[in-house]
Amino acid sequence: MALARIDLDTRLVDVIGRTSANALGGKLELHTVGDLVRHYPRRYVERGKLTDIAGLEVGEYVTVIATVESATTRPMRTRRGKLMNCTIRDAKGATLSCTFFNAQKVQSFIQVGRTLMFSGTVSVFRSGRQTTLQLTHPEFEELEEDAEDRPFISIYPATKGVRSQAIARSVRQVLALLDDPTDPLPEDLRQEHELMPLGAALRKIHVPQSEADRHAAKGRLVWDEAFGVQLALSLQRERAMHRPAAPSPRKAGGLLEAFDAILPFPLTAGQKSVGEEIAEDLGRPLPMNRLVQGDVGAGKTVVALRAMLQVVDNGRQAAMLAPTEVLATQHARSLRAMLGPLGAGGELGSSDGATRITLLTGSMSTAERRQALLDIQSGVAGIVVGTHAIIEDTVGFAELGLVVVDEQHRFGVEQRDALRGRGERTPHLLVMTATPIPRTVAMTVYGDLEVSALTELPKGRSPIRTTVVPAGEKPSWLERVWARIREEVAAGHQCYVVFPRVGGEYANPKKKGRDPEDAEDPDDAEADGEDGERRPPLAVLDIGPKLAEGPLAGLRIGILHGKLPADEKDAVMRAFDAGELDVLMATTVIEVGVDVPNATGMIIMDADRFGLSQLHQLRGRVGRGSAPGVCLLVTDMPGGTTARERLDAVASTTDGFELARLDLELRREGDILGSSQSGRRSGLKLLSLLRHENVISEARLSAARLVASDPGLAHHPGLRALVAETVGDEESAAYLDKV
């Protein structure tokens, strides 16, 4: 039977049969022909060569072509049957171990000297003091032979039960029947950037005939991704131009001037120049969109406060949003302290023209909340501090002139849209982050933000020494950690001990969604549980009390995590701040912004469970006073793993910019590109913020030109579809509706 021609929307089940289609659909969420042809190979191996084993990431499901170096079978202890242990190696001599529980079945295939394709999850195997990398639940297959016309073996992102070569076969079946899709790129643009037609690119990325093919195909597909994102951002900029902001120029004789006069320290050069830029922006009738980068401790709060005062001087309100209630509460407290009588509006002893700082959090009592909402509505509250909820719900501001977003480098496009949608006039926006954002990320994720940087720290900061503590290899080092805490406390200082998980009664391993305060586990959390290879991350409620009774007995210890009621959180934080606690055991609720200058020790348990920028943020909680800080990264990951490389990177530098670059190199980039954060499948598969800086710049220019000539993309339906495919349907639909 001759099959009809198919297109990208054809369901796979109508092309490759039910069994294959179910496997691809069920395990990899590939349902249509389009899904499958967009499932690009992860790497290519020249026929007859082996893949590299070095550089595999723990937790990753990988497919490698390797040679069997040794294989031994022995009877199993607890069950009938035999077990096979084998070691496989690559051309460079790196090895992985594999265990098969069905030795009888596999021993005729797995023979020393044979080259096969193995797949499985990379894990760490420990026997005694020795740690090695292994493949868990390995599967293997023989290499297909009949392929003279295919000089490369394409290795696909696979999963248990759907092997790479099966995917490759389905792809070839589909490509044979697929008509080339209509190319969304205008011909002139394709010529200008020397891009291969879409149809050819989709074929050649799967079945390249040469390196040059692979290169050109990838180049075209990368361009589409970069262009899709930049078009979305250009559309958004275009739209923002049509919605003016209320100008809040500098006013003589106002609160800002009065505040500058009482500042207890001179501003750094960076604080001054960034302050100038912001002051100019605020005075314009176009909405400011500015990102201020400044390493931990650079003094961003003062910069934000001065901007807020300028807006208050114009009779408008400013809102400051923090990522957690703990931080919002602390901000409100420290802003009040900085402003003194200038921020005590309506209270006894306040200055003339003083404003009021109002805290609004979800856990306030009904009466407190009602009062706060009244102050906000009436405009009595000049500065409102809270979490993101305050712009998302129905809080009515009298006139919101500025929104400051603190420490939320992921403040996404959607949230900014929520802001813009609120009133007739868009408030100015100031985003502050200590997580430095490389230029490409700024262009891609924050394509519509201006970026300014605070490059120096205020004078008189103390250095922080960071050490990786390999507790798995050297258990005695852990005792050193507790002793170190006691030394800091004996010297009159305080310490944090941070855990990746809350635990205790809140532990719920079945839960699907992740707790926002859980560490960003760089590995695939599900792979852990399923294989039982890695224990769950350490939890503050499980380990904290044991430490308090054991190695840290006698110290005054507080426990802080996000599940505590707000007043308890606040009480613990205050007690630590006041020096009434020696040690604060916490989750990442203290990640950002917490400022206790007397704290000098930061111990991070299971440090490999945190992201690089998280570790840097956590470390920034110490060394804020005049005494030097110490940061200990405790891990049981063995040396030589990517996890350990990350920690070594954190120990090697305190320069946040350098770390951000390393982070980008080491982690999967999907994490950084906004759309994948909401769990939606991202259309960004090949674009690398690190390697494709030039492509991104070119795409940005082309997108701006195109949107200027066709503001709603009315004449480019193919490009509208490209935007939808790249940044996700909902978002782009929202963009396009509003233009």
Residue 267: contacted member of Mg ion, ligand ADP, none (CB under 5 to 8 Å, by partner type)? ligand ADP
CA distances from 333 to 279, 296, 344 (A): 25, 19, 12
Residue from 30, 110, 298, 384 touching ligand ADP (CB under 6 A): that is 298
Nearer to ligand ADP, 213 or 406 (CB): 406
Stated as kind and residue range, the H or E segment containing 96 is strand 95-100
Q: Are 689 and 438 in contact (CB under 8 A)?
A: yes
Residue closer to ligand ADP by CB (options 304, 481) is 304
Distance of closest approach, residue 303 Cβ to ligand ADP, in angstroms: 8
Which sign does the torsion angle of CA 348, 353, 354, 360 carry?
A: positive
Contact call for residues 684 and 670 (beta carbons, < 8 A): yes
Which entry of ligand ADP, Mg ion, none binds 136, CB below 5 to 8 A by partner kind?
none
Among 59, 294, 537, 683, binds ligand ADP (CB under 6 A): 294
Report, in Å, the least distance between residue 412 CB and Mg ion: 20
Select the binding partner of residue 361 from ligand ADP, Mg ion, none (C-beta < 5 to 8 A, by kind): none
- CA 29 from centre of chain: 23
Piece of the chain touching Mg ion by CB under 5 A; list 287-295, 548-556, 564-572, 591-599: 591-599
The entry of Mg ion, ligand ADP, none near residue 138 (CB within 5 to 8 angstroms by kind) is: none
Q: How is residue 162 annotated by DSSP?
A: B
Locate 100 and state its tokens: 């098969």
DSSP string of 178-221, one letter each residue: BPPPPP-S-HHHHHHTTPPPHHHHHHHHHS-SSHHHHHHHHHHH
DSSP 461: P
Closest listed residue to residue 128, CA positions, set 473, 467, 569, 417: 473
Report the residue number, 300 or 409, with the smaller CB distance to ligand ADP. Answer: 300
400 near ligand ADP (CB under 6 A): no
Q: At closest approach, how far in Å is the CB of 435 from Mg ion?
A: 12
Q: Residue 126 corresponds to which tokens in the numbers above? A: 């420990």
Site string for ligand ADP, 537-576 (x = CB under 6 A): ----------------------------------------
Partnered with residue 602 across adjacent β-strands are: 496, 631
Pick what 448 binds: Mg ion, ligand ADP, none; C-beta below 5 to 8 Å, kind-dependent: none
Rule CB under 6 A: choose which of 20, 136, 236, 271 binds ligand ADP.
271
Q: Which of 448, 595, 671, 698 binds ligand ADP (CB under 6 A)?
A: 595
Among Mg ion, ligand ADP, none, the one that 59 touches (CB under a kind-dependent 5 to 8 A) is: none
What's the rounded Cα separation, in Å, for the pair 461 and 654?
13
The whole-angstrom separation of Cα 234 and Cα 635 is 44
Residue 491 is given by DSSP the state T
| Amino acid making up residue 78 | T
For 557, the 3-state DSSP assignment is: strand
Q: Which does 101 bind (CB under 5 to 8 A by kind): Mg ion, ligand ADP, none?
A: none
301 binds ligand ADP (CB under 6 A): yes
Cα 217 from chain centre = 28
Note whether 101 binds ligand ADP by CB under 6 A: no
The window from 119-127, 144-152, 264-272, 283-291 that contacts ligand ADP (CB under 6 A) reads: 264-272
Name which of residues 449 to 488 contact ligand ADP (CB under 6 A): 458
Q: Which does 64 bind (CB under 5 to 8 A by kind): Mg ion, ligand ADP, none?
A: none
Strand partners, 453: 293
Query: CB under 5 to 8 A by kind: which of ligand ADP, Mg ion, none does 343 bind?
Result: none
Q: Which of 34, 299, 629, 728 binds ligand ADP (CB under 6 A)?
A: 299
Applying CB under 6 A, among 64, 103, 339, 434 the residue interacting with ligand ADP is: 434
Nearest residue (beta carbon) to ligand ADP:
299
Contact status: 302 vs ligand ADP (CB under 6 A): yes
Which partner from the list ligand ADP, Mg ion, none does 283 bind, CB cut-off 5 to 8 Å by kind? none
Q: How far is the CB of 334 from ligand ADP (least distance, A)?
A: 8
Alpha helix positions (H), 595-692? 612-619, 642-652, 656-666
Closest contact distance (angstroms) between CB of 297 and ligand ADP is 5
Asked whether 231 and 716 are in contact (CB, 8 A), the reply is no
Cα 282 → chain centroid: 30
# chain residues binding ligand ADP, by CB under 6 A: 15
Residue 629 lies near Mg ion (rule: CB under 5 A) = no
Kindly give, in sequence order, each residue whose CB lies less than 8 Å from that of residue 117, ignoring residues fewer than 6 positions away. 63, 64, 65, 140, 141, 142, 143, 163, 164, 165
- Residue 109 or 265: the one with the smaller Cβ distance to ligand ADP is 265
| Cα gap 197→206, rounded to integer Å | 15
Q: Binds 500, which of Mg ion, ligand ADP, none (CB < 5 to 8 A, cut-off by type)? A: none
We find the least distance from the C-beta atom of residue 439 to ligand ADP, in angstroms, to be 21
335 is a site residue for ligand ADP (CB under 6 A): no
Please state, in angstroms and as integers, the Cα–Cα distance from residue 158 to each residue in 30, 50, 51, 166, following that order. Answer: 12, 18, 15, 9
User: Is 304 within 8 Å of 406 (Cβ atoms)?
Assistant: yes
Q: Are strands 428-433 and 289-294 parallel, antiparallel or unpaired?
A: parallel
Place of tokens 């203290």: 590
- Closest approach, Cβ 457 to ligand ADP, in A, equals 8
Can you tell me which of 34, 323, 593, 629 binds Mg ion, judged by CB under 5 A?
593
Q: Is 297 one of the binding residues for ligand ADP (CB under 6 A)?
A: yes
**Residue 59 falls in which region: left (phi positive, over 0), alpha (psi -120 to 50) or beta:** left
Interface with ligand ADP includes 340 (CB under 6 A)? no
- Structure token digits, residue 421: 């949608």
- 632 vs 607: CA distance, rounded Å: 9
| Nearest-CB residue for Mg ion | 593
Return residues touching ligand ADP (CB under 6 A). Answer: 265, 267-268, 271, 294, 296-302, 434, 458, 595
Return residues touching Mg ion (CB under 5 A). Answer: 593
